[in-house]
Amino acid sequence: KINTDYFFDEAAFNTHDGGYVPLEVYDAPEVPLAIPPLLEPDQETATDAYYTVEAQAGETQILPGAKTKTWGYNASLLGKTIVYHVGKHNHVTLKNSLPELTTFHWHGLGVSGPYIDGGCHAPVYPGEESKIEFTLHQPAATTWLHAHPCPSTAEQVWHGLATMVIVKDEHEESLPLPRNYGVDDIPLVLQDRRFHENNQWDYREDYDPDGVQGPTALINGTVNPYFDVTTQKLRLRILDGANRREWRLHFSDNLEFTQIAGDSSLLPEPVKFTKLMLTCAERAEIIVDFKDYKEGDVVTLFSDDVPIVRFRIHDFTPDNTVVPDKLIDLPKEEADPDLPVRAILMSGMDEEVMLNGKKFNMQRIDATQPVGKAQYWDITNSNDMVGGMVHPFHVHGTEFLVISRNGHEPYANEHGYKDTVGVNPGETVRILVRFAQTGVYMYHCHIIEHEDGGMMAQIQSYDPAEKELKKYKLMDMD
């Protein structure tokens, strides 16, 4: 079966928002798609790996003429791609060379909160560094790193603080899938920006409390990119790294493609598409097969009707590998019968956004859940103002399962682990959440201006054997 629609409620697409900024083709020459280099470990042994991740300011030649002032991780814009291996013990030095406080949030890594996961309670001050250590026990996945200081996450991400983090494990490595980074395994970070005078970005000027947008697609930090295809199949690791924009992806010729992974794991079974929509912070790994094309052809990836990447086909050797129809066995999980269903309400637009009727407070623990126990969370989007909007709901420090949408089956590509799920207006999405580690975890809408605007809360995962809830040092808004 080939899925030929975007699944989500058409009436709630961001195109219907009064403040919607349509994508436009920027009048600049085509350039090769930037492929971020891999971050080399400072040191590596059979059991341990050491990395330094530096948040820095710089200038990037994005357009002809003036360079754009940008921020990045170990790079002037976005960052080097980080690869972690499951089971290895990682030691990461987080270095802040920016003129302001930042945090290093590992979106999608199963690390403990509120410090190691780099949410708002783990500031690194300008000129300082901090060190974290963790070992991952989670399936292979495409995750990411972004800044998360409250309430300036959106502005820092807009400056460029976002990069891809690939988690590898032996199971994934045993499958016949493309994994030659930069050749047939390609990161695609999808963002949008507006270029002002002198090719600069101006977050304040473009500010919109429902999410900042720009008309120019920025793919891995490049405008009008092309990629030279030298293999029959490509694996694209796509991340919606935009503050606000949904991406409605499809190829020229309605080329069919296969999704093999969602946010936090492979899909149990591959799913075929001609159209795929991603909401903010979601990831999809897809396999595109160019078997019906020949040297000199160009295959274009579009969002809505705007071309965002051109794949230039070169000569390739035939590749007869088949994507397996079983990609991963996920353990059957049931909700703990003693735990009630947790209700979460996302409401409002603009400055009115709230979670369960409240604005985020860094010092307030909004909910608790026993560590290791699975609980249903019902996430409702009450938003029926002017058609409403899709809110992408994200939880830190866990991989969840999507159980149902308004009591119906989740979408065909929602059967793997996820950490972000788009919730349509008037819809209740049931997810099954389990925290593997104690700690404090944030959950929020991933339209980043909604998160900064207070559509966020935090939960403490605790060990029931402890007599009293552990106290964590939590930052306050200042």
Residues that bind Cu ion (CB under 5 A): 391, 445, 447, 450
- Sheet (strand 354-355) strand order: 354-355, 342-347, 375-381, 428-433, 401-405
Cβ atoms of residues 286 and 238 within 8 Å = yes
Asked if 450 interacts with ligand C2O (CB under 6 A), we say no
**Which residue from 263, 444, 455, 460 is in contact with ligand C2O, where contact means CB under 6 A?**
444
Strands 342-347 and 283-289 come out as: unpaired
Who contacts 27 (Cβ-Cβ below 8 Å, separation ≥6)?
none
The reply on whether position 107 binds ligand C2O by CB under 6 A is yes
Choosing from 85, 95, 121, 148, the residue that interacts with ligand C2O (CB under 6 A) is: 148
Identify whether the C-beta of residue 252 lies closer than 8 Å to the C-beta of residue 290: no
442 binds, among ligand C2O, Cu ion, none (CB under 5 to 8 A by kind): ligand C2O
Site mask, ligand C2O, residues 237-276, x = CB under 6 A?
A: ----------------------------------------
> Whose structure tokens read 């705007």?
306
Q: Which residue is nearest to Cu ion (CB)?
A: 445
DSSP E strand stretches across 139-211: 141-146, 162-168, 185-193
Residues 379-398 within binding reach of ligand C2O (CB under 6 A): 394, 396
CB of 379 to Cu ion, least distance (A): 11
Residue 451: its H or E element: helix 448-452
391 binds, among ligand C2O, Cu ion, none (CB under 5 to 8 A by kind): Cu ion
State yes or no: residue 281 binds ligand C2O (CB under 6 A). yes
Is residue 146 within the footprint of ligand C2O (CB under 6 A)?
Answer: yes
Which residue is nearest to ligand C2O, using beta carbons?
Answer: 107
Beta carbons within 10 angstroms of residue 16's beta carbon: 13
CA distances from residue 98 to 36, 81, 103, 192, 434 in whole angstroms, order as listed: 20, 20, 11, 23, 35
Q: What's the closest the beta carbon of residue 29 comes to ligand C2O, in angstroms? A: 33
247 token code pair? 């991406």
Residue carrying structure tokens 């490509």:
234
- Least separation in angstroms between residue 130's CB and ligand C2O is 18
Minimal distance, residue 275 CB to ligand C2O, in Å:
25
Q: How far is the CB of 394 from ligand C2O (least distance, A)?
A: 5
Applying CB under 6 A, which residues contact ligand C2O?
Answer: 105, 107, 119, 146, 148, 281, 394, 396, 442, 444, 446
